[in-house]
Amino acid sequence: MSIKLECHEANHICDKNQYREASFWEKVRLNIHLIYCRACRKYTIRNSKLTKTVKNPKVQSISTDERRVLKERLQQELSK
């Protein structure tokens, strides 16, 4: 296994890393790739920014259970 990465592989690892699913060895290779690849550096910055934004506690969503309740109520009304 070579230490060098293609850009599309680097992007894949970067995506995985956003969910903390990249292995240690993958992260090392990604970081080495980032040293010399400008495009991937840009992609990584944007990707982390997106992760941070979505993780913002002010972004709220309705839980799956509550969605189901909403759906059932709507469904009831639909079938009338």
Partner 1 sequence: MPINTLDPNTWVDKYSDYLYNYTIVRVNDHEVAQDLISETFLAGLKSKDNFKGQATERTWLISILKRKIIDHYRKINSNKGKAEVRVNYNDSESEGDWLEERVSDPYDRTAEDTMENEELGMAIFGCLNGLPEKQASIFRMKTIDGIDTETICNEFDITASNLWVIIHRARKAMADCLEENWF
For the CB of residue 38, give the shortest distance to partner 1 in the complex, in Å: 17
Q: Amino acid identity of 21?
A: E
> Are the C-beta atoms of residues 30 and 43 closer than 8 Å to each other?
no
Residues 6+ apart with CB under 8 A from 33: 4, 5, 7, 10, 40
Nearer Cβ to partner 1, position 2 or 57?
57
Nearer Cβ to partner 1, position 4 or 49?
49
Q: Give me the residues that bind partner 1 (CB under 8 A), please.
A: 11-12, 15-16, 18-19, 21, 46-47, 49-51, 53-54, 56, 58-62, 64, 66-67, 70-71, 73-74, 77-78
